[in-house]
Structure formats: C-alpha cells, structure tokens
Structure 1
Amino acid sequence: MSSRPSERAAAESAMAPGNDRELRADARRNRERVLRTAQQLFAAEGLGISLDEIARRAGVGPGTVHRHFPTKQALYLAVAIDQLRQLVAEGEALARTDDPAALFTFLASMMASGAENAAVKSALAAAEFDLRSAAPSVAADLTRQVAGLLDRAHSAGVVRHDLAVDEVMALVAGAFAAIRHADVENNRARSAHIAQIIVDGLRPQPRL
C-alpha cells in the first residue's frame, strides 16, 4: 500500500500536460509505437508481460520504454488515456457524417474498446487511479462527443426521448461490468452481444 503514492506520481508525471508536445518527432513516434504495442499485448496476453518484452515487440530499446514509462502503472495509465483519445477521434469523425444513428455505432465501439482493455482498467482501479481525474480534458471531450451524437439522435427520433448523456455514460460503464461479470472480455462475439443488448435498449420503445 505504501508504494501507491509514488507509483501514482510517476504515472501522472508520465502523462503530465505538455510532455507530448516537448518530445522530438522520433521520440513521439517511438512512444506511440510502444503504446499501440502495449495495448495489443495487454489485451491478448494479459498484464504479466514485461516492459522489456513490450520494447522488443515494439522494435525499440528497453531504455526507450523505461524512459517514457518508469513504472508499469505509468504505462497502464498512458494506454488507457491513449484509448480515450482514439475514441474521441472516432467520435469526431462520426460527428462529421450525416448518420442520425451514429450514436449507436460510437457506443458499440466504446464498449468493445473497454472490453478489450478491461485488464488495464481493472489494474488502474486496483491502484486507485481515476481516469477522469488523471485526464479530465480527454474524459470531458469524450462525453461531449457522446452528447453531440445523442442530440442528433434525439432530433432524428432514433433514440429514447428521455435519455440523458450522463445516463448513456453510466450504461457504457455498466456494459464493462456486465462483460467482466460474464467473463467474456476476450470473446469478441459474446462481449459484442452483451453490448448490443444494452444499445438496443436505448432505441425508442414501441407504443402499445
């Protein structure tokens, strides 16, 4: 327990605002390569994989990984925040389309992404990390993307009229819990089925 404050400080330092901007272009590319590799390996092989093995698979030296991510917790946090940024970018792309039901596409993607990275999120929760506190601007951006797509869906009448954005975000979090409870994080078909059941519940209910 006593190591948690220092681990949290190291993790948050690795993700401090401005760090990305200060990196040289080659260092930034290496960091992104490590993040993508780590995300894939954590999802496929679990959290036991070492930083040195992640470095090998990413095609960089161990020192590169340890320089950017001094602890495993720092890498977990960076992977989770990078995942949120990817989702924000996807939401922005969907907002530029004219699909009134893009909300459902986005929510399904959010749930699938969360299921694939459930181990990382569980590790962060166990270490008492809160993503909304660690990356408030990214978390807010994601909520704004959901809110914009929800407004469009409301205008088109393709979603329940009584659905609010905070309820949508709560249901997404509930989907992660349901997928974990069913122990199907590594089964894309089963986790997608659970997510689809939840998404279908957001559609307008037929009048009897």
Structure 2
Amino acid sequence: MRHKYWGTTQYYLQPWEYPTRYAEWIGYSLDYVNKHNDQENLSNKEEKSSFFERASVVQMLLLAQKKSPYPIPYMYGQTYSILPELIVPRIFNPNKIRSHEGTSLLNIHYKLQTREQSLATTIGWGLLAESYANFGLMGCGGLAIILGAAYGKATRWSINAPILSVQSLFAVMMMSFAFQSEYSAGVYVAALSQSSTVLTGIALFFNEETASS
C-alpha cells in the first residue's frame, strides 16, 4: 500500500473512500499470510518426507530388486570383502578404510553418488538391502541365518546372568545394534568390534580389581 499510494499522487482521500482502502489493505495482508503459510506447509511436507525416507531403507531394497541383476549386476560380496580390514584397529593400520566404505561402494555401484559425493554424504542401505545387492535372495537368506545365529547365541549366553555382567551387557549391546536400520555390514562389524573391545577391557579391569581386593 505504501509503494502504491504514498507520494505517487496529489489526490486527497475522502472519508467515504476509507472502507475501500482498508479492504484493499486487508486483502494484501491476507494474500501475504496465505502465501507464507503455503511456503511453510510445503517446507514441513518436505521435512517430513525427508525424515521418513531417512528412517526407512525399504526404498533401497526396492531399488536393488528393480535394478539387479539387470541392468546392474550383483556385487557378489564386494562390500563384504572389506570386513576383515575393518576389524583391525586403526593404531595397527593407519591407512585403514572408512567404516562407511561398503555403503559408498553400494551408492557408487547403483549410480546414486559419485566417489566424491559419498565422502561428504552417506545414503544408508541397511543389512537386508546390502545382502540383496550382493547375492539376491540367497544373500537375504544367508543374512537371516547369520543374524539369527548371532542373536540367538547372545540371548542364550545372557539367560539368568546378572544385569551388570558381561553377558547381559553384551546382549543389550547386540539388541541396540538390531535397531540400527541404516547400518551396512561394514559399519555393523566395525562398531561391534570397537564396542566389544571396550566391554572386554572393562570386564578385565574389574576382574583385576576384584582379584586384588
């Protein structure tokens, strides 16, 4: 209203014209508010969409199923071949690869990212989608057997154990890893190795303290 009427004319507004000018002013205000709300709603929808996409990796499994083995072939264990190197502590291997290297290989293989982009941003895949990308349905079956055996062993090991015992703490740690939907095998193994090392060190320390006392 200021840009439209202020200083642009010598016309003097008459009292009976006040309602029309107020109506025009209110109309501009409502247009501005509606436009602002639309932008906020669009932003909120984008944020919610982004959140749900990041919280779920089902779309990555569907992507692998759609594109493999044709036109993109299976990876045949390429992301699993780096697991032995990830277990070695960095102090013994200063040139150790990143724990997210397997995730980067998946994104590069399926043309979601370049090598440079994967160094800055990580698109999570999850163990199930990774297993399908490597060996198809046979990979998913193998993953079920391995995880079932590991979780079952941790459960049996912790049965009737004290809550603060190594067995119970290890079972809790394994349960927390089971909720990490975006972990690839490399991240899973590296994090599990590091956490187990810390847990073992704590257990040895307290055993020495108990023996000394």
Both structures adopt the same fold (TM-score exceeding 0.5): no
Identify, as 1 or 2, the structure richer in helix: 1
> What is the TM-score normalised by the length of structure 1?
0.31
**Higher Rg of the two aligned structures:** 2
TM score, norm. by length of structure 2: 0.30
